[in-house]
A and B are shown apart, each in its own frame.
Chain A
């Protein structure tokens, strides 16, 4: 019996060492890969962004706010932190990760919408993006609340289980057998390419302003922290194709909610869901996502509006 146990332990030990090296290689490989999923977390960790204007939010933030447009109009360094496919709790995590390595922004543009405050507590969409970075102290502390188990956070390789393509890509990149050149983000912005496709819109029956009490409290805490840090905040509800807005059952409740919470901290809430852009399908790829052209037009418009509001200290 002891022989059995010793053999199992020895085997596990050898495998653990081996797994540690593979884990290291895959992490390194993925971190150096040209792919927006890993590039954005890397850029943050490098601590060289230090943006004056920071954009936060979900996929609508990620693909609606073009930092170069803000740079040009406002003459401030802008970065887009948008976390595609995730509601506010994950956005808060990413913001915390950002300020852990970069200086605090002067102005934070927070995209808000009907889905921002919903109750999804896992990092599910493109989960692989975070896998090479889980040993980061900040993330290790917080990822337990986002569907990661302790085993995944502390033992090598386990978290890559089921991500066969990611492991292979990481290994190939590490061993320089292949260099990947996938889609890259520019200052965090990822454009939506393509033309208007009504399929998704046709599938939508009704939309609802979804609110989870924990997420709402977290959002409130976040705004309060920003206030305490003297960061100016603008809550922006970016354009939605008008036919989708018509399907939103409690639009007024949503607008009232965001207005009220903005007022509480003396911040601004800007609603662009009735903007002229919303009536032009050529600006969209789908119901709630602008295409690259639409994103540039919207960002330019917002930048001008922000300039008029004089929220930033003049350079």
Chain B
């Protein structure tokens, strides 16, 4: 069930009404409802994978309890590694088996062997990377004595499977989400209204921006050999907006939906394309994943402590793993390495935390310097996205080579996409003026109710009049 489907438009109000009007007095029933709804939501894709989800949930729940009850460190360690290995094992089989086997065989072929190997016809279970990371963070936190295990299987299952975040995040932490699940929740009018606004803004980004960009981007990336340099550049820029609209749109819908149930999820995007350097970009893009890697990989490796060599090693590890997390393809690994190269100079010169505030604070528009920094960062990010989007590394390099051509100054093939260009301008303007807020449609400061409602009407009409053909969310494949 997609967030931008009519099935979800029916599903959500039903669960909402049951949750607040039928079983609102009983927290346990509310959590059971959330769990059943989440399993229904997940099962509507492929119910077979529900068993995998339930198994993964059960494994982490059980090992969490076992670790807490361990009489000594050795046994605790055993349960910890059992959970980590099985979790990563599932991820490895479903997501990376074919990649490893073909890469290994290709490497052998290079040195003169002719290996015989079999790839598996594997369907990637939706959201496996996300819920595996939920579970991993939970067992790591218990192992490090940061949290106590959750004794209620229902509560723990809701933490892993809560439907707004189940298939594409944000990647939650037990320290943040579990206390909210355990605690009695009260309906808050303002929170619920803002949740709806955030859902609406997410739909705008998904349906108007991402789905429309998809048409142009698919066309350009599929047939990049026959496109002018300017069209290729525009294709890459549109992909930057497609992936932003798609993923941040999804996150907005997820966060907004969770708020309808009185639950606050971790923020995942903070207007990343207004970043002034790559370090700031990574603090604003897919925040829940970046911070996950920071807390569970980068810091345990030593972080930015130690010598230059260690800093370089750790930076590369975190970016390469992050790239690999996205998928079993060398394009993602190169994308990770590319970002590591961009990030390293900032870290080595200790400028990676130069821009921790929001751009142009107290000003309406950015200064020339800030604007140029934003544009340079954006262009660097766009070139990275070319690797992310291309089918293969060689395609990505050919695509980039195609951009560096004299016909970069020609008019791109934009026929039929002027509406999209206008929509992107609207997105940039709205988000610029809302950059201190949580999302683009946080208009609670508007005094006039009529004006607020007119704003909502306008956004809904934009969905109908400028909405593209429905596409699935990009991050579902991860």
Contact = CB atoms under 8 A, between A and B. Distances in A.
Given A3-B189, A4-B187, A164-B466, A149 B460 contact: no
A161 to B, nearest CB: 6
A309 interface: no
- Of A8, A152, A160, A162, most buried by chain B (CB within 10 Å of CB) is A162
Contact of A162 (B10, B187, B460, B468): B468
Interface in B458-478: 460, 463-470
11 contacts: A4-B187, A4-B189, A11-B456, A18-B457, A161-B464, A162-B211, A162-B467, A162-B470, A164-B467, A164-B468, A167-B464
Interface residues of A, number: 21
Contact of B6 (A4, A8, A149): A149
Contact of B20 (A1, A157, A167): A1
Given A4-B187, A152-B6, 4 more contacts: A11-B453, A15-B457, A161-B470, A164-B468
Contacts of B196: 8
B457 A1 contact: no
Contacts of B20: 1
A249 interface: no
A152 B464 CA distance: 13
Interface of A: 1, 3-4, 7-8, 11, 14-15, 18, 22, 149, 151-152, 157-158, 160-162, 164, 167-168
A114 to B, nearest CB: 29
B184 to A, nearest CB: 15
Contacts, number: 43
Contacts of B187: 1, 4
A157 B466 CA distance: 13
Contacts of B192: 4
B365 to A, nearest CB: 31
B91 interface: no
A158 B456 CA distance: 17
B443 to A, nearest CB: 14
B465 to A, nearest CB: 6
A21 B101 CA distance: 58
Nearest to B186: A1
Contacts of B453: 11, 14
Contacts of B468: 162, 164
Interface of B: 6, 10, 20-21, 187, 189, 192-193, 196, 211, 419, 453, 456-457, 460, 463-470
A167 B189 contact: no
Nearest to A18: B457
B469 A162 contact: yes
A22 B465 CA distance: 11
Contacts of A4: 187, 189, 192-193
A168 B10 CA distance: 27
Nearest to A26: B464
B470 A167 contact: no
A167 B457 contact: no
Contacts of A161: 463-464, 467, 470
A155 B91 CA distance: 42
B21 to A, nearest CB: 8
Contacts of B21: 1
A1 B20 CA distance: 8
Given A11-B453, A15-B460, A164 B6 contact: no
Nearest to A3: B189
B194 to A, nearest CB: 11
Contacts of A149: 6
A1 B469 CA distance: 35
A18 B458 CA distance: 12
B189 A151 contact: no
Given A18-B457, A149-B6, A158-B6, A168 B465 contact: yes
Given A4-B187, A4-B193, A158-B6, A164 B457 contact: no
A255 to B, nearest CB: 37
B23 to A, nearest CB: 13
A11 B192 CA distance: 15
